[in-house]
Amino acid sequence: MPPTVIHDPGQIDFALPGKHHYQVAFHLDSSWGYSLVPMTVINGSAGGSGPEPAGVAAFGGTHGNEYEGQVAIKRLCTDLDPREMRGRLILIPQLSETACRAHQRCSPEDDVNMNRAFPGNAHGTLSYRISNFVKTRIFPQVRVVMDIHSGGKESVFPLCTSFHPLPNAEQHAETAAIARLFDTPFIFVYSRQMASGLLTDEAEDEGKIALGGEFGHAEGTSTSGVRHAYEGIKNVLRHYEMLGGEIVRVDAARATPSRMVQAPNLSDYIPSPRSGIWEPAVTPGADVEKGDLIGSLHDFSNHCSLPLEIRAHKKGVIIALYFAAVCKKGLTLYVIGEDAA
C-alpha cells in the first residue's frame, strides 16, 4: 500500500486503529509542488490491563545529512505490528524531507535548519510550516519525543543519547531513564544555551520527555548507530508498556553501563581561534588532563610555520570533537564534559 498523501493536516485521524502510512504535503515556496513528509501512525490493538500508555513520537532526518535515525525509524515503520502494540506511536523518518533529498543539513528550499525552526510559523517558509505542524499536530498526541541525530560533517560525538539539564527533577529523572534505554556508551547532558529553536527545546518546554542523541558522524550510516537507535526506541516502547517483552541490552559486549557526562556551561565549548587545517590528537570519548594536546591547526600559507596547538583547558571527557580537516574560525573544536551523577 503506498502512503496516503495528506493535503490538510487537520484531516489526519491520529486515533485510527492499526498502522497507517502518510505523506504530509507542504507546498514549496519556490514552485508548484510539495515536500512530502513521510509519517507512519500506529495505534496498537493488543489488549492489556492498566492505563493507556503514553504516546511516543520518533523523528529522523531533522538534519538531512544524518542517516542513522532515518534508517532506524524507516525500518520501524515496516517492522512494527500494531496487533502486538498498545498506545500511539508516530514515526517520521525524514522530517526535513527536502534536506534529506538534498543530503544536506538544512533545507535547500529556504536555507533553514529544521532544528532551529521551532516553534515554527503556520505562515512561514517550508521549514517553519513543518515545525509548526509538529508543534500543533504531533506534540498534542504524545508525551515522549525522540529526535535521532548524528554529527553531520563537522563534529564527532561518542555514540550517545543527549538531553538538556532540566529544572524539574521528575522530568530530568524520567528523561535520564529513557536515555539509558538506548544503552549507548555515553549520555551527554548538554547546554541549552548553545542554540535555540530545537525540536527537543519545544517538547521539553511543554513538559514532555524529550530526548536527542548522536548516533554516527561523517555522513555515513553507522551499523552500531542504527542498532542503538532502532533497539533503543523499541526499548522505550517496552518501558512504557506499548510493546511486550523485556528491555534488551543493545551492546551486550560492553561491560559498563552508559556513562553520563555533563557540559552545562558554554565555557567548555571551545571555538577555533582561527581558520586552518585541523589535525585532531584525541578521539571522542577520551579522558584528558588539563594541558593535554587536543589537536593542531595548520596554516599552509607558510609551510615552515609551526601548527597552533590546542590544549585541554581542563580535565574531563572529550564529549564532542571537530573532525573535518577544513576548520573555520569560530567553529566549535571540542567540548569537555564531566561525569554526572
Which of 143, 149, 208, 234 touches Zn ion (CB under 5 A)?
149
In the complex, minimum distance from the CB of residue 198 to Zn ion, in angstroms, rounded to a whole number: 10
Q: Under rule CB under 5 A, how many of the chain's residues touch Zn ion? A: 3
> Is 289:315 a contact under the CB 8 Å cutoff?
yes
Q: Which of these segments, 55-63, 177-185, 215-223, 239-247, binds Zn ion (CB under 5 A)?
A: 55-63
Whichever of 146 and 242 has its CB closer to Zn ion, that residue is 146
49-88 exposure pattern, b = at least 16 Cβ within 10 A, e = fewer:
eeeebbbbbbbbbbbbbbbbbbbbbbbbbeebebeebbbb
> Is 336:294 a contact under the CB 8 Å cutoff?
no
Q: Which of these segments, 29-37, 61-69, 133-141, 282-290, binds Zn ion (CB under 5 A)?
A: 61-69
Helices 169-180 and 223-239 cross at an angle (nearest 10°) of 130
Q: Which of these segments, 29-37, 43-51, 141-149, 331-339, binds Zn ion (CB under 5 A)?
A: 141-149
In the complex, minimum distance from the CB of residue 150 to Zn ion, in angstroms, rounded to a whole number: 6
**d(C-alpha 309, C-alpha 318), whole Å:** 16
Cell numbers describing residue 95: 522530517
Residue 219, Ramachandran bin (φ over 0: left; ψ between -120 and 50: alpha; else beta):
left
Which of 19, 63, 135, 228 touches Zn ion (CB under 5 A)?
63
Whichever of 63 and 135 has its CB closer to Zn ion, that residue is 63
Whichever of 63 and 208 has its CB closer to Zn ion, that residue is 63
In the complex, minimum distance from the CB of residue 311 to Zn ion, in angstroms, rounded to a whole number: 28
**d(C-alpha 64, C-alpha 99), whole Å:** 4
In the complex, minimum distance from the CB of residue 115 to Zn ion, in angstroms, rounded to a whole number: 6
**d(C-alpha 40, C-alpha 156), whole Å:** 30
Whichever of 149 and 259 has its CB closer to Zn ion, that residue is 149
What distance, in Å, lies between the first and last C-alpha atoms of the chain? 48
Strand pairing partners for 146? 58, 211
In the complex, minimum distance from the CB of residue 57 to Zn ion, in angstroms, rounded to a whole number: 17
CA angle 319/325/326 to nearest 5° reads 110
- DSSP, collapsed to helix, strand or coil, labels residue 326 as strand
In the complex, minimum distance from the CB of residue 139 to Zn ion, in angstroms, rounded to a whole number: 19
For position 19 contacting Zn ion by CB under 5 A, the verdict is no
In the complex, minimum distance from the CB of residue 216 to Zn ion, in angstroms, rounded to a whole number: 10
Q: Which of these segments, 28-36, 117-125, 144-152, 322-330, binds Zn ion (CB under 5 A)?
A: 144-152
Q: Which of these segments, 86-94, 133-141, 148-156, 301-309, binds Zn ion (CB under 5 A)?
A: 148-156
Residue ranges that bind Zn ion, judged by CB under 5 A: 63, 66, 149
